[in-house]
């Protein structure tokens, strides 16, 4: 039999079997029911799942251009555009709610219902967010002209200084509505708190999903917790900005290339007066001139007498404490003795990283009487060159820094709009990394600065703790060349927790009679109170144990000559009543991101650069 004939015979058998099956009444009825069920299910899915789901998806897509436009309106400071887009988003959310309501039956379906309710919570949170935005637009609108927002009749063409003045004017009005705004954020938090991001995939159609949900939840939680502090800040900021009474702040320039406990040698200062948000006066001078004007110079602290070999105490050496507030309280004792020294409302400490960062954003600055332009790449070298070499014996050798800051401030306040965000981001980063430190006489402002770690304070901790504080007592600018690496090891020995800190120094520069004759460093290692020194090595003097600022301190003294290396090691037993699983590391102001390595029971668990204070979980 041919293959074609075989195939024909097999088909005939199949048709015969199907015919017999279809001839079976019960089977035929079951088959019709199955087909009907499938047809009805398809119609149901189309009407109650696919169609509403498509409408919901389309409504979500419609919100995207308005979301982008709202962001653009804030960047362009167009109040009218912001209001219009908030209104449009409100309308789109209403369409989304209608589309979602058509799927409400899924809320009672096991498994599926959870996602339906999540969508409800997200929409509710979005509605509260839009209401918050509308409150802010309504509040700011009467002050649009002074704040620099575009409206139907105004243009946002004010410079940065005018913007600050406008901000001072609008803050009291925002404070009046803070209770209402705070309530909205509480409602947003409650809605988002019902959503578990772990229920969702990491991404959807190439866009992050789970991380985005987690980030939104965390951000809202943080904002809600911070709302009382935001209210306090908005309440006091006009006063800090000189409304209604002018305020005068002392800006202390710390040369981090000659590192001292709070960030650097106190080299120069400026007095900045603000009135109604406007800087009305800036004057600067050399710290040596201040010292020479003061007749009161008591005996120096023992550490200064020993390592600096000075017989008198000077204002320029008062930042011996690693705690900025404590150091500034000491500095103010001298300031109060200076003839014609005005009353001040606070002190701002800043180092060369600040000048460098601002010039990187704003571009170069040209000063009269100086041939070179000052830019982010040459600024540190030029400052050292003029103050230590070219103008070494001139009375006004450090006046350059004050004049330079004047020029930078003037350029910043006249900066184009596209530079405002980078400037704000840079300022926040510099504060976070302790290149800018705040000590304010306003108690509320100081409390807020301390709470958010902007005040350079030594912090309390009920766990393990480490702060390494270097003081360059050899003069010169050796910190320009010295690199520092820290290794902290934690082990359990005989039921006790033992810590070992090793600090490796490398002086990468060649000998220079003005800048690098060798590094002489008074080192203090701050650890939990009650720690006991077990062993040490590398110090030129015996390591001593002190108590300071609620910590145990191991103090030593190291030398690191040009093109040489040195190490300091301390081994100590931690108190039995602390929690070694939590470790707080505090960065020294004026330092860059020194490399750190954490080793637990012989295994490396963390390796990073310490740009700012950091808390770690350590598993022993």
Q: pLDDT, tens digit, for every residue of 405-438?
A: 778 877 877 777 677 778 888 989 999 999 999 9
Give the residue from 466, 494, 498 showing the smallest Cα distance to 575: 498
Of 235-239, 278-282, 388-392, 526-530, the range with the lowest mean pLDDT is 388-392
Give the residue, 178 or 44, on which the prediction is more confident. Answer: 178
Of 315-319, 420-424, 451-455, 590-594, the range with the lowest mean pLDDT is 420-424
d(CA 435, CA 468) in angstroms, rounded, equals 16
Determine the pLDDT at residue 393. Answer: 42
Residue partners of 68: CB distance under 8 A and separation at least 6: none
Determine the pLDDT at residue 390. Answer: 43
Q: Kindly report the backbone phi and psi dihedral angles of residue 474, in degrees, each rounded to the nearest multiple of 5, phi listed first.
A: -105, 5
Determine the pLDDT at residue 50. Answer: 42
- Model confidence over 198-209: pLDDT tens digits? 887 777 767 677
Q: Which CATH architecture has domain 463-617?
A: Sandwich (2.60)
CA dihedral 301, 306, 307, 310 (to 10 degrees): 70
Q: What SS3 state is found at 284?
A: strand
Of 99-113, 343-357, 368-382, the range with the lowest mean pLDDT is 99-113
Quick one: which H or E segment has residue 7? helix 3-22
**Alpha helices (runs of H) in 77-110, residue ranges in sequence order:** 79-101
Determine the pLDDT at residue 296. Answer: 92
Could you tell me the CA-to-CA distances from 317 to 264, 297, 304, 308, 327 in Å, in that order?
10, 11, 8, 10, 10
Determine the pLDDT at residue 268. Answer: 87
Of 22-26, 194-198, 432-436, the range with the lowest mean pLDDT is 22-26
Determine the pLDDT at residue 617. Answer: 87
Asked if residue 104 has pLDDT above 60, the reply is yes
Determine the pLDDT at residue 371. Answer: 75
Give the residue from 267, 270, 251, 346 showing the smallest Cα distance to 314: 267
Which residues of the chain are in CATH 2.60.40 domains?
463-617
Of 32-36, 47-51, 467-471, the range with the lowest mean pLDDT is 47-51
Quick one: which H or E segment has residue 385? helix 379-385
d(CA 314, CA 328) in angstroms, rounded, equals 13
CATH number among 3.40.630, 3.30.70, 2.60.120, 3.40.50, domain 247-451: 3.40.630
Asked if residue 152 has pLDDT above 90, the reply is no
- Model confidence over 264-300: pLDDT tens digits? 999 889 899 988 888 888 888 888 889 999 999 999 9
Residue partners of 273: CB distance under 8 A and separation at least 6: 242, 246, 247, 248, 249, 279, 280, 281, 282
The band of 13, judged by pLDDT with boundaries at 50, 70 and 90, is low
Determine the pLDDT at residue 348. Answer: 96
Preceding peptide of 244 cis, ω within 30°: yes
Which residues of the chain are in CATH 3.40.630 domains?
247-451
Give the residue from 267, 272, 265 showing the smallest Cα distance to 250: 272
Model-wide pTM > 0.85? no
The band of 35, judged by pLDDT with boundaries at 50, 70 and 90, is very low
The band of 48, judged by pLDDT with boundaries at 50, 70 and 90, is very low
Mean pLDDT (the chain) is 81
d(CA 485, CA 487) in angstroms, rounded, equals 7
Asked if residue 301 has pLDDT above 80, the reply is yes
d(CA 482, CA 560) in angstroms, rounded, equals 8
Beta strands per DSSP E along 494-564 = 496-507, 519-528, 532-537, 544-548, 551-560
Rounded mean pLDDT, 81-95? 73
The band of 5, judged by pLDDT with boundaries at 50, 70 and 90, is low
């Amino acid at each position: 039999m041919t293959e074609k004939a075989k195939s024909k015979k097999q088909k005939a058998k199949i048709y015969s079997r199907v015919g017999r099956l279809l001839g079976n009444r019960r089977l035929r009825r079951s088959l019709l029911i199955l087909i009907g069920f499938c047809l009805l299910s398809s119609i149901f899915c189309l009407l109650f799942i696919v169609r509403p789901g498509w409408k919901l998806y389309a409504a979500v897509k419609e919100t995207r251009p308005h979301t982008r436009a709202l962001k653009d309106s804030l960047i362009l400071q167009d109040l009218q555009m912001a209001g219009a887009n908030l209104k449009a988003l409100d309308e789109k959310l209403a369409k989304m709610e209608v589309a979602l309501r058509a799927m409400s039956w899924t809320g009672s379906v096991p498994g599926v219902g959870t996602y339906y309710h999540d969508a409800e919570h997200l929409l509710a949170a979005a509605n509260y967010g839009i209401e918050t935005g509308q409150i802010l637009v309504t509040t700011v609108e009467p002050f649009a002209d002074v704040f620099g927002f575009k409206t139907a009749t105004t243009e946002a063409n004010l410079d940065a200084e005018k913007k600050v003045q406008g901000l001072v004017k609008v803050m009291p009005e925002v404070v009046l509505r803070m209770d209402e705004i705070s309530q909205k954020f509480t409602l947003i938090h409650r809605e988002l708190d019902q959503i578990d991001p772990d229920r969702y995939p990491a991404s959807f159609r190439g866009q992050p999903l789970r991380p985005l949900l987690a980030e939104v939840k965390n951000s809202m939680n943080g904002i809600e917790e911070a709302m009382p502090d935001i209210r306090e800040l908005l309440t006091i900021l006009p006063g800090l900005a000189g409304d209604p009474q002018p305020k005068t702040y002392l800006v202390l320039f710390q040369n981090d290339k000659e590192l001292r406990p709070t960030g650097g040698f106190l080299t120069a200062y400026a007095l900045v007066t603000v009135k109604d948000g406007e800087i009305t006066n800036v004057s600067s001078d050399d710290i040596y001139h201040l010292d020479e004007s003061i007749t009161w110079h008591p005996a120096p602290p023992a550490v200064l007498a020993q390592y600096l070999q000075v017989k008198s105490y000077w204002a320029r050496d008062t930042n011996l404490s690693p705690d900025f507030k404590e150091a500034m309280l000491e500095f103010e004792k001298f300031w109060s003795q200076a003839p014609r020294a005005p009353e001040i409302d606070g002190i701002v400490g800043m180092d060369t990283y600040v000048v460098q960062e601002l010039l990187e954003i704003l571009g170069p600055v040209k000063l009269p009487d100086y041939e070179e332009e000052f830019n982010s790449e040459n600024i540190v070298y030029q400052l050292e060159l003029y103050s230590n070499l070219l103008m070494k014996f001139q009375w006004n050798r450090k006046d350059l820094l004050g004049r330079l800051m004047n020029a930078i401030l003037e350029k910043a306040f006249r900066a184009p709009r596209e530079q405002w965000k980078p400037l704000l981001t840079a300022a926040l980063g510099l504060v976070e990394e302790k290149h800018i430190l705040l000590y304010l006489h306003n108690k509320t402002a100081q409390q807020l600065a301390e709470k958010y770690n902007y005040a350079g304070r030594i912090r309390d901790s009920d766990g393990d703790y480490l702060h390494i504080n270097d003081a360059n007592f050899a003069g010169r600018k050796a910190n320009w060349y010295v690199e520092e690496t820290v290794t902290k090891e934690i082990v359990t020995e005989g039921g006790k927790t033992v810590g070992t800190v090793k600090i490796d120094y490398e002086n990468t520069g060649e000998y220079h009679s003005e800048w690098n004759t060798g590094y002489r460093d008074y080192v203090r290692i701050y650890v939990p109170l009650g720690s006991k020194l077990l062993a040490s090595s590398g110090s030129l003097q015996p390591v001593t144990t002190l108590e300071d600022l609620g910590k145990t301190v191991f103090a030593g003294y190291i030398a690191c000559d040009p093109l040489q290396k040195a190490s300091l090691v301390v081994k100590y037993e931690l108190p039995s009543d602390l929690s070694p699983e939590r470790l707080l590391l505090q960065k020294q102001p004026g330092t860059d991101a020194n490399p750190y390595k954490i080793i637990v029971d012989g295994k490396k668990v963390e390796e990073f650069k310490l740009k700012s204070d950091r808390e770690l979980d350590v598993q022993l």
